[in-house]
Each structure stands twice: as C-alpha cells, then as structure tokens.
Amino acid sequence: MRFVILCLCLLVLLQREGAAQSDSGFAAWARQRALPIDSAGRAFAVLDPAVRRARLIGVGESKHGIHQFLDFRFQLLRSLVRRHRVTALLLESGLPEGMALDAYLTGRTDSIRFDQAISYGFGTYQEVREAVAWLRDWNRGPGRAHPVRAYGVDLANSAGSILPALDRLTEQLGGSAPEVGAAVTALRPLAERAAAPNWFPAKRRYDSLNQATRDSLRDGVDRLVALAKAAKIPDPERARWAERLALVAQQTEAFFRLGPYQITNPRDVAMAANTLWALERLPAGERAVLWAHNAHVQRVPIAGPPVPNGPTPSMGTMIAAKLGTGYLAIGTAYGGPSVDSASAPLAGSVDQVLGTAAPAPFLLSFDAAPTGAAEWLAAPRPIRFEVGHLVVVTGAAFGAIAYFERADPARAVTSH
C-alpha cells in the first residue's frame, strides 16, 4: 500500500513538473511575440493577416465593467474602422434597444438615452459612451461614405422581457399587416406577466405561471413569427426588421422556458442567430466587430464550474461553424487580485501564465506557434470568468489575447 501511495505521489510530482515546464516554455515563446499595447495602437498590426480573412472580429472580456477591457476594445475598434473597413458594431445588448443606438450613430436622431439604448447596464459606462461619440463623429466625417452601423444581438431588456420586441415590431408595421398587429395585441398581456428588469426576476415570474399560460405564451410567439414572415409589409427594410423582432420575441420565450443553464444554451443560440443576421446585411468587403463576454466570443464550448450541467455551445462555436476562418475571436485576461476579491489567478491558469510572459499590457497573436507553445495552447486550462474560472483550450478558443496587469472598474455615469 505504501508503495502504491509513493508511486501516486511521484506521478503527481512529475505531472506538476511537466506542467511547470510547459508553462515556462510557452511563456518564453510569448515573451518574444508579445507586443505592448500603447495609445498609438501599433500592436494591432499583428492581427492584420487574420483580420483580412475575417468577416467578423469578436473582442471579449473576462469580466464585464472593466476599464482596461473597454479601453482596449475602443482602441482596437478605431484601428479596425480606419484600416479594415469595419462598418458595423455588434453588441451584447438587446436587439430592439440597439435600433435607437443605430439611429443616433447614423444621424437619424440627435439625442440618445444610453441607459435604454444599451442594455445590461453597459450604457452607463463612460468608456462605452466615448466609443459611441467617436463613431458618430466618424460617420459625419471621414466615414460618411461607409458609415458604421450598430446592432444589439442579444435578448431585450437584459433578457428580461418580450415587450421591447413587440413595441418595436408595432413601429415597423406602420399600420400595415393588421393580422400581425392583432397578434401583438393578443400576446402583450401574456408578455407583461413574465416581464422584469432583467432575466433573473423574469425567469422567476415565468416559472410562477401555470402551464396553460406558458403554453399560450409559446403558441403566441410562434404564431407571431409565422405571421411576420408571411406579412405583406410594403417597405422591404421594415419587413426584414419586423420578422427579426418577432424572432427575438420567440427567442426570449425559449430562454424563459428552457432557462439559462439548459444544455443547448438558448441565449447564445439567439445571439448567434442575430449576429449572423446582422452580418448578412453588410455589403461585400465590409466587416463587423462584436463586443461580448469571452464566454460568448470564444470558439469552443463553455465549460467549467460555472456551467452546472456540462459544456454548452457558445455563440462563438456556432458562428465559427458558419464562418470558419472568417471569424476571428480575441480574448482578454488579467493578473493581480480580482476587482471583487483579493484572489489572484489560479496557478497554471491562462491569466497566471500570461503574467509571467512579458510586461503588461500586451497583445499576443497565436499564429504560427512552435511545437512547445502549440502544445500549451492545445491543453485545457482555467481562465478567469467573472469571479470564477472556466476551462478552455486557449488556442482553439481565441486567435489572439490581450493581457493586462490589473482590472479596474469602468467609469460609471449616473446621468442618462
């Protein structure tokens, strides 16, 4: 028995030693390849080969509401808009609300309620508002010929209500397609019974409904989609939006019914469908940037302790299946203590090993990694996810990663 225990201890020590050697080998390669992120954006040129192949560039964040991540996104967006004909910004925000943001960016309206036009609280960050202001100025100046549009690709009201989709759908009808309008009117009282400021209380309200009411809600959104697809709306653009808004209502009902942790991941299914729809609207040769959490952006399934029912498909896996190399995913990571606690990144995690590679902040592309680094990139390992950790195969999840020494809260704005 002692011999068996001794062998097991020796095996663990050897595994740890091998992991440490792998970490140090990757860090040595990364040290040579890492490019410092500065205000001039010189590091972004390393992404050019992958960007030229891409139709969509996803830029993640391992935690929402972090100044460094939002500032990096803004810097990269400016570079991509100026140099790579990016003409759409897609956001982890409600699709119906995003219509107001697009109207503001393109000059169709002169004012905006950021707290309403960008959901999940992202509209309260000064860094996001500065990015919007820059895009609006770009569209009125150098980008006038190819203005940048904005799309929310998520469920409305922080995934908490069908009502914004119904309201915007009614606007698109403009008095036409009375059968669709009647379906909206019939559906509204049911939608109100499950509506809340965000997904958590909305799910509780939905779960409190009896089965007959839930069935009526499901039948109502299914009927609405069928009618919207068949509707005779004179303006083709309004017709396309009406159908998409009906689909968002259907996506939200599925999210309520199946729940956020269901193995098919209904929210990411919806986000992927809405993203691909927005991409289809872009002219040939133009590109889009997607801002969402690392977990949504990554090209591999979402796995790890925060996913209680096992790995689920991310939005990025579904987009990558459609676009292949036409989708570039860029992750973010950071060292030091979390903004929510004194915890440092786990030993051997993506965040911890990157912290040993080079002075932060830096950008690291995974193109042409040699054997030792490629093996590290192909191994599952922890990566920060909000206050916990997911498990990812880093090289499969992302084409590049931006690393920061620390994570500070974004600058909150209390005004609308």
Per-residue pLDDT band for 1 (boundaries 50, 70, 90) equals very low
CB 162, CB 191: distance < 8 Å: yes
pLDDT digits (tens, 9 = 90+) for 239-259: 999 999 999 999 999 999 999
pLDDT of residue 338: 72
- Distance set, CA 368 to CA 46, 49, 128, 395 (Å): 12, 12, 33, 11
pLDDT of residue 133: 98
Per-residue pLDDT band for 361 (boundaries 50, 70, 90) equals very high
In the predicted model, what is the mean pLDDT of residues 206-217? 98
Q: Give 97-155 as a DSSP string.
A: HHHHHHHHHTTS-S---HHHHSTTTGGGBHHHHHHHHHHHHHHHTTTTTSPPEEEEEE-
pLDDT digits (tens, 9 = 90+) for 306-318: 998 899 999 999 9
pLDDT digits (tens, 9 = 90+) for 118-149: 999 999 999 999 999 999 999 999 999 999 99
The domain locations on the chain are 159-259
- The structure tokens 């209500």 sit at 161
